[in-house]
Each structure stands twice: as structure tokens, then as C-alpha cells.
């Protein structure tokens, strides 16, 4: 049979497709990952720390993958709903999730039953960034120092409202109360952004927030800061002492880290592609500058390193929480 010159390219493509054992073994869609737009679920409202990580990642990742990355904010208490959505999504690499130490570590000590297992139901692709936290107060709240705050709380048990945002904030608050021997009235919020608004407006007197969120308000005089919850001071607020510098030893949580997860059973090939392109995103000088300017720490790591950290942190923080009297509900 003669093949006309106009039909030759098509004939060669068809022959190449069915003549290759490798290509014939897999659907064409698997060769073109991602075949359509990718959803990136963030367990916080717009403006929250997880949302920042998602929107820092999405534009460049979409450029490298040659598909749109759609950030889907799913606000819920302690990020449970968003994290469950990722866990139960098809393992095709088209649904990614931003997880954090709250959704994947601390929640395991807060709840007797979660609708997901933080290790079994996910593949940890890479951590992205980490932020320290700070205990902050409304600008007209009377105590000026940590010492004054503790004395005031002991003299007024249960009369100070503290905003609680996310699992990390919930645990940090309870550990702080246990360490100081004080009683505070917890006021829950569905994310750090509404808790931030609450303490600035005076709806609550105290809240724990990430340092990058706090720093602009501290510098403008809209919030007072009682201490940095980290092993070292923040370059964004170098004059603010850490908790340990103020004699509060051993009071540290796992840092407010954020990372990328995909559902369990996502093919290794897709995980490798995602990790490779995430590394490219955070290796860009402009991204590094944004992270540094915000006062965050860049912690991109491998899937194996990320998974190993989770395996260590989950039991460790369960013990910390039990020691602080936090009983899973």
C-alpha cells in the first residue's frame, strides 16, 4: 500500500505509538501529566499561612507543569475538612494539598478519631516553608510584659479571652496555660486570619500567630508581643525575647511548617515530577527573596525526609500534649 506524503506524519505517529512497548503499556494521559488543571487545597482562608504557601507555589508550579494550578481554600476548624478532601481524592496527581504541623501532627493528639490518617492516607511530597510563632495581645490590654501577663492572668482566672486558631494554636495555648498555671477563656476561630482580626479589634485579648503575620502590626503599634515561640529571636522583630529567654523553658511547638501532600497510592512517577518542579519553584531567586522578606525559613526536602519527620513528630507531640493535660476529644 502506498502512503501519500500528506499522510506520512500521521502514519509515523501511529506506527510509533503502537510500535513502542513502553507507550503501549500506559494510557496516553499518563504520559502527559498533568492532563488538565490541578487543584491545590489549602486548609485556611485567604490570607492565612497555608494560603500564603499555596499562592507562593501555585503560579510557578503551574508554569512548569504547563497547567493552571487552582488554589481551593477550604476553611474549617483545625483544617480537618480540607485535609480529608485531599486524602479521599483520586490518586492521579490532579489534587494536591497544603498540609501543616497542625493538620498532620497535632490533630492526632486532639482527636480520638480523624477522618484521615496523616501518614497512611498521604504521600508527603515536600515541605516548603516554616514560620515561628508569637504570643500577641491587643494594644490596649493592660499587661506590658510576659511577667505582668502571667500575674494578671493568675489574679483574673478565666477572664482573659484568648483566640485559638488551628491545631497548632490550640495546642500552643494549652501548653502555655499548663506551663504558667493560668486559666484563659478559649475563643475558637476557623483560621489565623479571623483570629488576627479579632485580637487587633479587641474581640480577644490574646492569640498566638505566626511571626510574619505579627511583625507588621507590631512595627505599626497595632499589637503588643509578649514573646517569640522559637529557639531563637526573629529577624523581623529582633528586640522581642523568646519564651526561653524569659525563663519559660521547654515551651516550643514544632514550628508552623507547610508542605505539599498527595493522596496515598499516587504513582511514584507523578510524585517525582511534582517534587522536581517544587524544587525548581523554590530555587528561584525571586521566591527566595519573598520567603526571606517575610521572615520565613525555606525547608524544601525530599519525600523520604518529609515522611521520616512525620513518623518522628506524630508520637512525640502526642506525648507533649498528654503531658500538658490535653485529652483527645
Across 84-93, 124-133, 160-169, least confident range: 160-169
Q: How far apart are CA 188 and CA 154, in angstroms?
A: 22
30-52 confidence digits (pLDDT tens): 458 999 999 999 998 888 788 99
CATH code, domain carrying 70:
3.40.190.150
CB neighbourhood size of 239 (10 A) = 8
Percentage above 70 pLDDT, the chain: 88
Q: What does the pLDDT read at residue 250?
A: 60
Q: Does the pLDDT value for residue 297 go beyond 90?
A: no
308 has a pLDDT exceeding 80: yes
Instruction: Give me the domain span that covers residue 74.
Output: 35-131+255-323
Across the range 121-140, mean pLDDT stands at: 94
Categorize the per-residue pLDDT at 251 as very low, low, confident or very high, splitting at 50, 70 and 90. low
Identity of the highest mean pLDDT range in 191-195, 213-217, 314-318: 213-217
Average pLDDT over residues 123-138: 93
Q: What is the average pLDDT value for the chain, to the nearest integer?
A: 86
How many Å apart are CA 279 and CA 57, to the nearest integer? 10
Both 264 and 239 in one domain: the answer is no
Residues 145 and 124 in one domain: no
Q: Between these two residues, 131 and 65, which has the higher pLDDT value?
A: 65
304 by DSSP, 3-state: which?
Answer: helix
* 284 and 313 belong to one structural domain: yes
| Total structural domains within the chain | 2
Report helix, strand or coil for 176.
helix
Specify the pLDDT at position 203: 97
CA angle, residues 304, 308, 310, in degrees to nearest 5: 120
Please give the pLDDT value at position 174.
84
What the block records as the C-alpha cell of 182 is 493560668
Q: Are residues 175 and 155 in the same domain?
A: yes
The mean per-residue pLDDT over the stretch 125-143 comes to 94
Is 60 in the same domain as 96?
Answer: yes
CA–CA separation, 204 vs 18, rounded Å? 67
Greater confidence, 249 or 221?
A: 221
Domain end call among 246, 264, 290: 246
If asked whether residues 169 and 267 sit together in one domain, one would say no
The pTM of this model reads 0.74
User: Tell me, what CATH number does 199's domain have?
Assistant: 3.40.190.10
C-alpha dihedral (172, 310, 295, 223), degrees to nearest 10: -10
Amino acid at each position: 500500500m502506498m502512503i501519500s506524503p500528506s499522510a506520512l506524519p500521521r502514519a509515523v505517529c501511529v506506527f510509533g505509538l503502537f510500535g513502542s512497548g513502553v507507550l503501549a503499556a500506559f494510557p496516553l494521559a499518563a504520559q502527559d501529566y498533568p492532563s488538565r488543571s490541578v487543584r491545590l487545597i489549602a486548609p485556611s482562608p485567604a490570607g492565612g499561612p497555608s494560603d500564603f504557601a499555596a499562592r507562593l507555589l501555585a503560579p510557578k508550579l503551574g508554569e512548569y507543569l504547563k497547567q493552571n494550578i487552582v488554589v481551593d481554600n477550604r476553611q474549617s476548624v483545625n483544617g480537618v475538612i480540607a485535609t480529608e478532601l485531599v486524602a479521599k481524592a483520586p490518586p492521579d496527581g490532579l489534587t494536591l494539598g497544603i498540609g501543616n504541623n497542625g493538620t498532620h501532627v497535632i490533630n492526632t493528639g486532639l482527636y480520638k478519631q480523624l477522618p484521615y490518617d496523616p501518614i497512611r492516607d498521604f504521600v508527603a511530597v515536600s515541605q516548603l516553608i516554616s514560620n515561628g510563632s508569637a504570643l500577641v495581645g491587643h494594644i490596649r490590654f493592660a499587661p506590658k510584659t510576659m511577667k505582668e501577663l502571667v500575674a494578671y492572668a493568675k489574679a483574673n482566672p478565666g477572664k482573659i479571652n484568648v483566640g485559638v486558631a488551628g491545631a497548632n494554636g490550640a495546642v500552643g495555648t494549652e501548653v502555655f496555660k499548663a506551663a504558667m498555671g493560668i486559666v484563659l477563656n478559649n475563643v475558637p476561630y476557623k483560621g489565623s486570619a479571623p483570629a488576627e482580626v479579632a485580637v487587633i479589634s479587641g474581640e480577644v485579648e490574646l492569640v498566638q500567630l505566626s511571626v510574619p503575620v505579627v511583625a507588621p502590626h507590631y512595627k505599626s503599634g497595632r499589637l503588643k508581643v509578649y514573646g517569640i515561640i522559637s529557639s531563637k529571636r526573629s529577624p523581623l522583630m529582633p528586640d522581642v525575647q523568646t519564651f526561653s529567654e524569659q525563663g519559660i523553658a521547654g515551651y516550643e511547638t514544632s514550628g508552623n511548617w507547610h508542605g505539599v501532600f498527595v493522596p496515598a497510592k499516587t504513582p511514584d512517577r507523578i510524585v517525582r515530577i511534582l517534587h522536581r518542579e517544587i524544587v525548581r519553584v523554590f530555587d528561584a531567586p525571586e521566591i527566595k527573596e519573598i520567603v526571606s522578606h517575610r521572615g520565613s525559613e525555606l525547608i524544601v526536602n525530599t519525600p523520604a525526609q518529609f515522611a521520616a519527620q512525620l513518623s518522628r513528630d506524630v508520637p512525640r507531640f502526642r506525648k507533649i500534649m498528654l503531658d500538658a493535660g490535653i485529652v483527645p476529644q
